[in-house]
Amino acid sequence: MFSNKEAFKRHFLQRLEMMCGKSFAESTKDDQFDTLGHMIREYVSKDWINTNERYRAADERQVYYLSIEFLLGRLLRHNLMNLGIEELVEEGLHDLGIDLKQIEDVESDAGLGNGGLGRLAACFLDSLASLNFPGHGCGIRYKHGLFEQKIIEGFQVELPELWLRHGQVWEVRKADLAIEVPFWGNVKVLEENGRLVFQHTNAEKISAVPYDIPVAGFKNQTVNTLRLWNAEPSPFPFHKDILKYKRETESVSEFLYPDDTHDEGKILRLKQQYFLVCASISSIVRGYLKKHDSLHDFHRHVCIHINDTHPVLAIPELMRILMDVGGLGWDEAWDITTQTISYTNHTTLSEALETWPIRIFQPLLPRIYMIVNEINERFCQKLWQLFPGDWKRIERMAIIAHDQVKMAHLALVGSYSVNGVAALHTEILKKREMNDFYQIFPEKFNNKTNGITHRRWLLKSNPMLADLVTEAIGPSWIRQPEELSRLLEYQNDSVFLTQLDDIKKRNKQKLADRIQAQTGISIDSSTIFDVQVKRLHAYKRQLLNVLHIMHIYNRIKEDPQYLFYPRTFIFGAKASPGYYYAKKIIKLINTVAEKVNNDPAVHDRLKVIFLENYRVSLAEEIFPAADVSEQISTASKEASGTGNMKFMMNGALTVGTLDGANVEIKERVGENNIFIFGLKADEVLNYQGYRSVEFFHYDKRIRKVVEQLTNGFFADVDDEFEAIYDSLLMQNDQYFVLRDFDSYVNIQKKVGQTYVNKEKWLKMSLMNIAQSGYFSSDRTIKEYVDDIWKIDQADYTRLYH
């Protein structure tokens, strides 16, 4: 049906009538999207089945990537592109008078994640499949993804997200493969033939039903699987109140927790975590036992990777299955488990490290708790042998201490590999945060600097730039992104630089049109587009950006002759609904925008835009249009960042601290092609005697902007920003905003001065694009494969030809 354009058109029209029961003339965009989606899913089925059979026949090592989040975004064009039928479909639809772009807009984002961590999982799936690796995702099919954000009178308002409203065309429900997940109840210990047997009785069971989504590699016939688990009432419920049971069951996969840093301490969250792990491991083991008659060699054929600690119960769950179901003894089960599980750490923020009180953990997961307890006992004994008498150390390192289960410690002890997500982050883990563990398990620690899939973030989202690149250096960069470095040959090619400039202008105009349509605010595409888009968090310091804008505004008001290259500051950010301070920052950004955008005195020189509901599909429109990328976290706090890489790949220049992967971006582009400012990580970590009030008193610019937060400068907001004022002065500015202010103002001045020299700017931009290949998730995935998973590239020529 996709063999040629005419065949496609014929099939499409037939299918549309059959599926929708109306003629083409009467069909809506929704009908057309559904029809096309179903055709694609059907088309992909053959390769999907073949891929699975190939993996079964070859009996290769398989990777399962367990993640509580997968931030996929839209899949229509991505699938068309990877299947190599984009052009054919686009032209076929065009003949029928349909614009593929409009059909794309029908699709809701699959927003099953909060931010970087979930998007990383999505990029990894694309790279695994595109590189022919047997790697699959396991996650939860939340009924509601991350909330939809509206801005009303400057405040964030959260609406439930409804991505499943029209049904999902990509997924396949597999009810026959459901798994029963037990909660609560008791554990009976019996003796059978001289060994202990554990029976989980009186458990409340929830049915986990898999929905599979095909993950097609880039033009290579490999189709891997993302398996998302849906919570449903068990056909054999053990419950008195059946309605209550049904409600409670479905709630397990109802909502994504809208917070990526704090642990809410909710029973439901722990239930979600065990639900994901139990269902995924049972189904992995079931698949494994179809080909093998025992579990002794499990670790030779299976890798289970846990994306942060949310799926860390994979460790005791695999132990349980190996012992209670497989009949293995503790030592062998432990050997297998610790050669199967690998772990990625995503943060050093202590408030983000998960812990669970025993009083919640033990009754909810009684058998799992017994196993964690045993792991802890044995680990503490080992510590006692290594450090006799060092009670303090044992207390610090224990998995269970002070009535809390520490999930990161369980991950460190029960996995064979622990990786950070950027070089600096991994060093901080080794030297500080996890130094105790590094001392006893140095061989476990390694770095895997994050990456992004250049197929979505350049090839798909910036087609004009992608075409220019291909014209210049040929298409090899699509399979080998490091080839982008060949663009350096064009550094002194004025024709090429002019084309680069022209593409950026057109992308900026497209974004400007969208902003005009959505907000009614007109912005000038010849101004510098200075962009900060990411989750709202104190450590990411959107506040520093806003205070700088207020300062620029003050300067222009004081001195209308003030030399300043006109700028449009663009923000996009969701705040966790319970994060009071972050919501205040959103209100502040919008309040500043209101004031600045309506003041004729700064007209044409300064605009501030807050784009609501930042998400993957919006991100894809923003990155190609950015001149400046704001990566201004307090050094040492951002583990890697991936937004920084998307900007760079689209030719934006970074204004950033030496934090996360910014450090490695600087190494690659050179210090002259990036704008670095502020305290360094070790300066932050070792800072002695910071007193923010001193900066307030001695720097007039700071005093002015900070006072403006509460002195009536903004009309009609009363004491709205008192909490921000207090954080800066009364609470001594935990994130060094005032400390880095002067340095930030200076570097921003340099940005404006550099932009004036268009040719210089374009060369810098080209350098960033050319050096961005390293930050492709293809490179990251190859490193995981070589150093951690040690799997083979599926050699399908061997099996099929």
Ligand X SMILES: *Cc1c(COP(=O)(O)O)cnc(C)c1O
Min dist CB 150 to ligand X, Å, is 17
Phi then psi for residue 684, to 5 deg, are: -65, -45
639 binds ligand X (CB under 6 A): no
Contact flag: residue 624 with ligand X (CB under 6 A): no
Instruction: Select from 485-493, 522-530, 636-644, 775-783 the region that touches ligand X (CB under 6 A).
Output: 636-644
Q: Which stretch binds ligand X (CB under 6 A): 154-162, 416-424, 637-645, 720-728?
A: 637-645
138 is a site residue for ligand X (CB under 6 A): no
Nearer Cβ to ligand X, position 461 or 590? 461
We find the least distance from the C-beta atom of residue 448 to ligand X, in angstroms, to be: 16
**Cα 656 from Cα 663, distance rounded (Å):** 9
- Give yes or no for residue 637 binding ligand X (CB under 6 A): no
Task: Specify the residue, 425 or 444, whose C-beta has the smaller distance to ligand X.
Answer: 425
Contact 444, 420 (CB under 8 A): no
Q: How far apart are CA 237 and CA 184, in angstroms?
A: 13
| Rounded least distance, CB 616 to ligand X, Å | 5
State the maximum Cα–Cα separation within the chain, in Å, rounded to a whole number.
Answer: 91
Is the CB of 35 or the CB of 450 nearer to ligand X? 450
φ and ψ at residue 537, rounded to 5 degrees: -150, 145
Kindly tell me which of 40 and 117 has the beta carbon lying closer to ligand X. 117
CA distance 138 to 276: 8
Output the smallest distance, CB 609 to ligand X, in A: 17
Q: Which of 226, 531, 592, 619 binds ligand X (CB under 6 A)?
A: 619
> Cα(first)–Cα(last) distance of the chain, in Å?
24
Minimum CB–partner distance for residue 572 and ligand X (Å): 8
Q: Is-contact 301 292, C-beta < 8 A? A: yes
For 521-533, the DSSP string reads ----TTSEEEEEE
Closest CB 66 distance from ligand X, rounded Å: 20
At residue 199, what are phi and psi to the nearest 5 degrees?
-120, 125
Contacts with ligand X in 480-539 (CB under 6 A)?
A: 534-535
Q: How far is CA 405 from the centre of its chain?
A: 26
Rounded to the nearest whole angstrom, what is the least distance from the CB of residue 747 to ligand X in the complex? 18
> Which residue shows structure tokens 């490999």?
222
Task: State how far the alpha carbon of 295 is from the alpha carbons of 265, 321, 498, in Å.
Answer: 35, 10, 62
Least CB distance from residue 574 to ligand X, whole Å? 9
Q: Examine residue 615 and tell whether it contacts ligand X (CB under 6 A).
A: yes
Q: Is 115 in the site for ligand X (CB under 6 A)?
A: yes
User: What's the min distance (Å) between Cβ of 579 and ligand X?
Assistant: 15
State how far the Cα of 20 lies from the Cα of 327, in Å rounded to an integer: 53
Nearer to ligand X, 317 or 612 (CB): 612
596 belongs to the binding site for ligand X (CB under 6 A)? no
Question: CA 410 to CA 553: how far, in whole Å?
Answer: 51
Under the binding rule (CB under 6 A), the answer on residue 616 touching ligand X is: yes
Residues 529-588 that bind ligand X (CB under 6 A): 534-535
Cβ distance 88 to 16 under 8 Å? no
Question: What is the 8-class DSSP label of residue 280?
Answer: H
Cα separation, 164 vs 141, in Å, equals 10
* Alpha carbon distance 659, 798 (integer Å): 45
Residue closer to ligand X by CB (options 151, 318) is 151
Measured from the CB atom, is 47 or 260 closer to ligand X? 260
- Tokens standing for residue 791: 């799997």
- Cβ-Cβ contacts under 8 Å for 536 (sequence gap 6 or more): 542, 573, 574, 575, 579, 582, 583, 585, 586
Stretch that binds ligand X, among 26-34, 176-184, 641-649, 746-754 (CB under 6 A): 641-649
Using CB under 6 A, pick the residue from 134, 210, 311, 641 that binds ligand X: 641
- In whole angstroms, give the CA distance from residue 536 to residue 574: 6
Of the residues 37, 92, 116, 326, which one makes contact with ligand X according to CB under 6 A: 116
Give Cβ neighbours of residue 235 (< 8 Å, ≥ 6 apart).
207
CA 365 to chain centre: 29
Residue of closest CB approach to ligand X: 643
Residue 367's alpha-carbon distances to 66, 304, 416, in angstroms, are: 21, 21, 23
642 part of the interface to ligand X, by CB under 6 A: yes
Q: Which stretch binds ligand X (CB under 6 A): 172-180, 248-256, 612-620, 735-743?
A: 612-620
Given candidates 135, 214, 451, 643, which one binds ligand X under the rule CB under 6 A? 643
Nearer Cβ to ligand X, position 615 or 637?
615
Element (H, E) at 179: strand 179-183
Supply the residues annotated as catalytic: 346, 534-535, 540, 642, 646
Which runs of E-coded beta strand occur in 668-756? Answer: 675-676
| C-alpha span between 124 and 117 (Å, rounded) | 11
Cα 491 to Cα 760: distance, rounded to the nearest angstrom: 10
- Mark the segment that binds ligand X (CB under 6 A) among 166-174, 284-292, 416-424, 642-650: 642-650
Closest to ligand X by CB, 135 or 643: 643
> Interface with ligand X includes 119 (CB under 6 A)?
yes
Which residue lies nearer to ligand X by CB, 305 or 346?
346
**Could you tell me how many residues of this chain bind ligand X (CB under 6 A)?**
12
Nearest distance from residue 532's CB to ligand X, in Å?
8
Binding site for ligand X (CB under 6 A): 115-116, 119, 534-535, 615-616, 619, 641-643, 646
